[in-house]
Amino acid sequence: MARSKEPSFRESVDLMFNRAVALMDLPPGLEEKIRVCNATYTVRFGVRLRGQIQTFTGYRSVHSEHMEPVKGGIRFSLGVNQDEVEALAALMTYKCALVEAPFGGSKGGLCVDPREYDAHEMEQITRRFAYELIKRDLIHPSQNVPAPDMGTGEREMAWIADQYARMNTTDINARACVTGKPLNAGGISGRVEATGRGVQYALREFFRDARDMQKAGVTGSLDGKRVVVQGLGNVGYHAAKFLAQEDGAKIIGIIEHDGALFDENGLDVDAVRHWIVGHGGVAGYPKAAHHADGSAVLEADCDILIPAALEGVIHMENAPRIKAPLIIEAANGPITAGADDILRAKGTVIIPDMYANAGGVTVSYFEWVKNLSHIRFGRMQRRQEEARHQLIVDELERLSKHLGDQWSMTPDFKQKYLRGADELELVRSGLDDTMRIAYQAMRDVWHGRDDVEDLRTAAYLVSIDKVAKSYQAKGL
Closest approach of ligand GLU to the CB of residue 269, in Å: 21
**Crossing angle of helices 423-448/455-473, nearest 10°?**
100
Q: Which is nearer to ligand GLU, 369 or 393 (CB)?
A: 369
What are the CA-CA distances from residue 123 to residues 150, 163, 164 (Å)?
Answer: 16, 10, 14
Q: Which is nearer to ligand GLU, 288 or 313 (CB)?
A: 313
Closest C-alpha among 95, 179, 105 to residue 358:
95
Backbone dihedral angles phi then psi of residue 438, each to the nearest 5 degrees: -65, -40
Closest C-alpha among 440, 455, 446 to residue 201:
440
Closest approach of ligand GLU to the CB of residue 376, in Å: 19
Backbone dihedral angles phi then psi of residue 145, each to the nearest 5 degrees: -120, 100
| Burial track 372-384 (b if 16+ CB lie within 10 A, e otherwise) | eeeeebbeeebee
The one catalytic residue in 5, 33, 71, 107 is 107
Closest approach of ligand GLU to the CB of residue 362, in Å: 8
Q: Which is nearer to ligand GLU, 147 or 243 (CB)?
A: 147
CB contact at 8 A, 409 and 400: yes
| Burial track 201-231 (b if 16+ CB lie within 10 A, e otherwise) | bbbbbbbeeeebbebbebeeebeebbbbbbb
Backbone dihedral angles phi then psi of residue 260, each to the nearest 5 degrees: -140, 155
Closest approach of ligand GLU to the CB of residue 41, in Å: 17
370 catalytically annotated: no
Nearest position to ligand GLU, beta carbon: 73
Closest approach of ligand GLU to the CB of residue 391, in Å: 39
Q: Which is nearer to ligand GLU, 199 or 218 (CB)?
A: 199
Q: Which is nearer to ligand GLU, 71 or 181 (CB)?
A: 71
Closest approach of ligand GLU to the CB of residue 30, in Å: 25
Determine the straight-line distance between the first and last CA of the chain, rounded to whole angstroms: 44
Closest approach of ligand GLU to the CB of residue 238, in Å: 13
Q: Which is nearer to ligand GLU, 179 or 371 (CB)?
A: 179
Q: Which is nearer to ligand GLU, 342 or 431 (CB)?
A: 431
H and E: helices and strands count for the chain: 17, 13
Closest approach of ligand GLU to the CB of residue 248, in Å: 28
Q: Where are the beta strands (DSSP E) in 271-411?
A: 289-291, 304-307, 326-328, 349-351
CB contact at 8 A, 387 and 122: no
Percent helix, percent strand, percent coil in the chain, to nearest 5: 50, 15, 35
**Residue 231 DSSP label:** -
Closest C-alpha among 168, 146, 239, 254 to residue 201:
239
Closest approach of ligand GLU to the CB of residue 330, in Å: 10
CB atoms under 10 Å from CB of 403, counted, come to 10
CB atoms under 10 Å from CB of 75, counted, come to 24
Q: Which is nearer to ligand GLU, 87 or 361 (CB)?
A: 361
E strand or H helix that includes residue 216: helix 210-216
Strand partners, 259: 256
Q: Which is nearer to ligand GLU, 336 or 357 (CB)?
A: 357
> How many Å separate Cα 356 from the centre of its chain?
7
CB contact at 8 A, 427 and 363: yes
CA distance 314 to 256: 15
Residue type, 90: A
Binding site for ligand GLU (CB under 6 A): 71-73, 147, 149, 179, 332, 357, 360-361, 364
CA distance 106 to 60: 7
* Active site residue ranges: 107
